[in-house]
Amino acid sequence: MIKITFLPDRKNIKVGKGTPVLEALERVGISIDTPCGGKGICGKCKILITKGINKITSIEEKLISEEEIRKGFRLACQTKVFEDSIIKIPLKIRLDFNKLFTSKLKGDIHNIKKSFSLESDLKKVFLDLEKPSLDDQRSDWERIKDRLSLMKIGNISNLKVPIEILKKIPNLIRKADFRVTVTILNNEVIDIESGNTTKSSYGIAFDIGTTTVVGYLVDLRTGEELSAVAKTNPQIIHGDDVISRIEFVQKQKDGLKKLQEEIVNTLNEIVRETTQRAGINKNNIYETVVVGNTCMHHLFLGLNPSNIAPSPYIPVIKESLSLKAKDIPELALDSIADIFTLPNISAFVGADIVGGVLSTSMWMEEKIVLFVDLGTNGEVVLGSKKKLWACSTAAGPAFEGARISSGMRAVEGAIDKVKITNKSVTWRIINNVKVKGLCGSGLIDLIAEMLKIGLINKSGKLINRENCQSEIGEEIKKRIIREIEGNKFILVKSDKAEGGEPIYLTQRDIREVQLAKAAIYAGIKILLKEVGIYPEDIQEILLAGAFGNFINKESARRIGLIPHLPLRRIRFIGNAAGKGAEIALLSKKMREVSQEMSKKVKYIELSSRPDFQEEFIKAMSF
């Protein structure tokens, strides 16, 4: 066994010789960003070995500069450890963005509350029972049931009691001197507690993203959100898109089991943290609603997602499911707590999109609304209360900061806003710390601004310094650097950036954005055709996604991500999926709505549309 110490955390772990660093990191609970899925393509997961020798692989030689190699930089995905080592994990590649992400959510949640009424089916009742005697030999369960009947609680003659509760009853009611609180959900007793606990009644909503998992702990009586916690989906170690997860299931022994374990462990951490923060007992969590894309939905449930990936793209189940916590192995909630998954629409339009649409009012409005969720897949929903159409495009993870030279997620240190004039460049950094990279909204801004002053032309070319328009000052011009693979634009110089590396945009980065925005725009175009309307018929565009605080609507429109409509018709709605999950948690009626709505959506399979490719190519230019 050898010892690895990770800095700056000072976390130690003993591992066998030859253990991959990625595995060791996973085991000590440090999440890092591996945009290419640890395949040695992107060169993003640079770590610094300060003690311990490591041979350089040919992949590392290609992706790390000579000077960095000399300093001790290696790629986490390539490195195996053969002796005691101390390894520094740069903040830049870390995914510890919990604090930022959740504080941001708080604001949104309060707005949702207004749009529907609480109508949980859950009832907690305090009972002060008669004690048994030779004249009253009712069984323990009859004693409880008769009292509930007297109090006219639920449909008593069909009231069910699971064996788990029956096992607890005899000792519990006697210790409690026959004063107990009974919890009833869907005509079944799901909890019995000593004394009066009628005020403790909680639920948790989970949004399981390919990259980020968020949990919202809610008081079911008041609808108040008590705490929210976001975690990186630990499956990211196997690759950053759903296809890589499905490959893992297919290729690895027990791959499905492993991925389910990983997601369940994360949910358990979220349960622990949210309940600790709120100071409540997790056994009082009675209801859970889960959303996620179809693949995450399947992995959470332990359903094999293998048939999602190849044509004709078939999920195991689309409809919503109601189950018990015990149906999910190792899920650390009371075994008979209720778990509800929102329905999926298709293999690539999942329960997260159903939640997202649910959180808007588009499913109940006359006007035509366009809903765009910008994730690794770009999902598009178009329509009104009469009918909805949906499609999914493989936009790629550019807007999440992956596959972009200086890209990063919308966390502390990311540039989320850029302004360029003829003479100057300014930007905003999340939490105003030293700059670490460029997140999705900053990337969109940057390209939009460069388009505006002609640094990028219609075809997407980053022009040469000498071809700039005459108004452009030297300050701007000198940021354009000519390189063999194409030009590069220096946004932040190396001396101003954390880690001493400049923040820049390459020609290749622009191409990535073009591919992403063209995919989404082409999807929108196909839906418009299917519905038989023109872009100007859209009365509202809703942009959803984990973009930090905002996305600049004008920039999004400028780069052609969405149709050119008046800005007042465009709205950024943040993490809509999570909001939808929370709404479904608080309202049984909204769960029914989600089921009906999901059935009404007509899914358009873009891969079977011969006109998609044409639209896609048309949409490539700016």
User: Whose CA is closest to 125, among 206, 46, 202, 183?
Assistant: 183
Give the footprint of a copy of itself on residues 126-155 (CB under 8 A).
132-142
Closest distance of CB 251 from a copy of itself, Å: 16
Choice between 172 and 533, CB closer to a copy of itself: 172
Interaction between residue 317 and a copy of itself (CB under 8 A):
yes
Choice between 44 and 324, CB closer to a copy of itself: 324
Closest distance of CB 586 from a copy of itself, Å: 24
Interaction between residue 288 and a copy of itself (CB under 8 A):
no
Choose which of 69, 314, 567, 617 interacts with a copy of itself (CB under 8 A): 314
Choice between 99 and 138, CB closer to a copy of itself: 138
Closest distance of CB 208 from a copy of itself, Å: 16
| Pairing relationship of beta strands 601-603 and 388-393 according to DSSP bridges | parallel
Interaction between residue 156 and a copy of itself (CB under 8 A):
no
Choice between 169 and 562, CB closer to a copy of itself: 169
CB contact burial 267-301 (16+ within 10 A = b; e otherwise):
bebbbebbbeebebebebbbbbbbbbbbbbbbbbb
Asked if 547 contacts 410 with a C-beta cutoff of 8 angstroms, the reply is yes
Q: Residue 362, Cβ neighbours under 10 Å: how many?
A: 24
Interaction between residue 456 and a copy of itself (CB under 8 A):
no
Choice between 50 and 608, CB closer to a copy of itself: 608
Give the footprint of a copy of itself on residues 170-209 (CB under 8 A).
170-171, 174
**What are the structure tokens assigned to 622, written together?**
């700016």
Give the footprint of a copy of itself on residues 369-408 (CB under 8 A).
none
User: Whose CA is closest to 391, among 517, 518, 296, 519?
Assistant: 519
Interaction between residue 307 and a copy of itself (CB under 8 A):
yes
Choice between 477 and 609, CB closer to a copy of itself: 609
Closest distance of CB 608 from a copy of itself, Å: 4
Interaction between residue 611 and a copy of itself (CB under 8 A):
no
Choose which of 344, 376, 405, 552 interacts with a copy of itself (CB under 8 A): 344
User: Whose CA is closest to 451, among 571, 378, 564, 557?
Assistant: 557
Number of helices followed by number of strands (H, E) in the chain: 17, 28
Lookup result for tokens 């110490």:
5
How far, in Å, CA of 501 to CA of 517, rounded? 28
Chain-centre distance for alpha carbon 296 = 10
Task: Point out which span in 160-168, 217-225, 243-251, 428-436 binds a copy of itself (CB under 8 A).
Answer: 160-168
Sheet holding 503-506, edge to edge: 480-481, 488-492, 503-506
Phi and psi dihedrals of 134, rounded to 5? -65, -20
User: 497: Cβ–Cβ under 8 A, 6 or more apart, which residues?
Assistant: 434, 435, 436, 503
Interaction between residue 303 and a copy of itself (CB under 8 A):
yes
Sheet holding 414-420, edge to edge: 425-429, 414-420, 437-438
Chain-centre distance for alpha carbon 385 = 27
Interaction between residue 605 and a copy of itself (CB under 8 A):
yes
Choose which of 347, 380, 411, 503 interacts with a copy of itself (CB under 8 A): 347
Task: Point out which span in 11-19, 99-107, 210-218, 305-313 binds a copy of itself (CB under 8 A).
Answer: 305-313
Asked if 601 contacts 381 with a C-beta cutoff of 8 angstroms, the reply is yes
End-to-end Cα spacing for the chain: 56
How far, in Å, CA of 526 to CA of 381, rounded? 11
Closest distance of CB 278 from a copy of itself, Å: 29
Q: Residue 610, Cβ neighbours under 10 Å: how many?
A: 6
Interaction between residue 163 and a copy of itself (CB under 8 A):
yes
Task: Point out which span in 11-19, 99-107, 157-165, 284-292 binds a copy of itself (CB under 8 A).
Answer: 157-165
Instruction: Kindly determine how many residues on this chain lie close enough to bind a copy of itself according to the rule CB under 8 A.
Output: 45
How far, in Å, CA of 239 to CA of 296, rounded? 13
Closest distance of CB 128 from a copy of itself, Å: 18
Binding mask 53-72 for a copy of itself (x = CB under 8 A): --------------------
Closest distance of CB 16 from a copy of itself, Å: 33
Choose which of 61, 84, 177, 319 interacts with a copy of itself (CB under 8 A): 319
Residues that bind a copy of itself (CB under 8 A): 132-142, 161-163, 166-167, 169-171, 174, 301-304, 306-307, 311-319, 321, 323, 327, 344, 346-347, 603, 605, 607-608
